Structure formats: C-alpha cells, structure tokens
Amino acid sequence: LSRSVVASSWKVLSSSMTYCAAPFNSVRIESTRDSGASYRPCCMYKSSDQTYSNLTEYLQGTELQQLQQHFSLPGALPESCSACRYQEANGQTSLRQHFNSKFNQSQKITQLEIFPGNVCNLQCFMCDKNSIDKFLYRYLHKAHLINQ
C-alpha cells in the first residue's frame, strides 16, 4: 500500500473509530529471553509468533504490512489490538487515540522505543535483585530457595 494512498485517505480514516497511526509511525523493540528481540508497533499490540532478526526485516515483514493495510481501510480493530478496544469500550483514552492525536498525517517511523530488558550473564555485584535476573537466581540459590 503506497504512502500517498494512505496520506490522501487521512481525514476519512483519522476520524474513523478504527484507524491507528502506530503501525505507520512507531516501533517498539523489546529484549526477550528466547528470540533476542521482539518488534511491535506499540506496547499494547499482541503480536503473532513471527520473529524478526532485525528492524529492517520487521519493517518489511508481512505482519506489519498487513496491519498497515488493515488500518488503511474502514473496519473493526484487529484482535491484536484488543487492549485499545477494551479501553475505549470502557470510556478510557486508548493508546490508539493518543497515537492518532500525536502523529497527524505522518507516514514514517518517528518514534522508536527500545527496552533492553534485564537479562544479563555478567552477574555484576553492583546490581541488586531488581536489576538482573542472574542476580536474582544467585540470591535465591544462596538463600537455599532453589537447588543447583
């Protein structure tokens, strides 16, 4: 879907109850234990099990393209956006509404959220149990709450 088509439809879509600017303007990268990183348009999005090895792969991937296409047409919010649907149904301002007011007609990634996580293998003594998972493991082991 070309950006000019999306931009020309902005006024109709932005007033729609289903448009969301996040897939066009935002990327959230989170560290994960299993795959290294997950990529999503926002923190509320329930992504599929699709994995990406880097940001470019995510931006060119079919999941994001399908989501952008979904939001470029009138219709219901996708199942992966159920958190915003729930908030709006209960009279709260959703993240979708926030993104729509923040990004206007922009059709390029202008927001990048990076969450490196707390997985670490260095076990630095300067960290406490809230900082890294290895410290917590060592803490529980010394407290004899786990074996090994």
Query: In this predicted model, what pLDDT tens digit does every residue of 29-71 receive, in sequence order?
Result: 988 777 678 899 999 999 877 888 899 999 999 999 999 999 8
Continuous segment of H or E residues that includes residue 142: helix 133-142
pLDDT at 126: 67
pLDDT at 11: 46
Q: What is the DSSP string of 45-63?
A: ----S---SSHHHHHTSHH
User: Length of the chain, please?
Assistant: 148
Residue with more model confidence, 62 or 121: 62
Of the pLDDT bands very low, low, confident and very high (cuts 50, 70, 90), residue 3 is: low
How far is residue 72's CA from residue 95's CA, in Å, rounded to a whole number? Answer: 18
pLDDT at 12: 44
**Mean residue pLDDT across the chain:** 79
Of the pLDDT bands very low, low, confident and very high (cuts 50, 70, 90), residue 99 is: very high
pLDDT at 49: 76
Q: Output the six-digit token pair for 24.
A: 């066009």
Q: Strands 26-32 and 111-115, how do they pair?
A: parallel
Considering only the C-alpha atoms of the chain, give the largest distance between any 2 of them, rounded to a whole number of Å: 63
Three-class SS string for 82-136?
Answer: HHHHHHHHCCCCCHHHHHHHHHCCCCCCCEEEEECCCCCCCCCCCCCCCCCHHHH
Q: Is the pLDDT of residue 18 over 60?
A: yes
pLDDT at 10: 44
Of the pLDDT bands very low, low, confident and very high (cuts 50, 70, 90), residue 14 is: very low
pLDDT at 127: 64
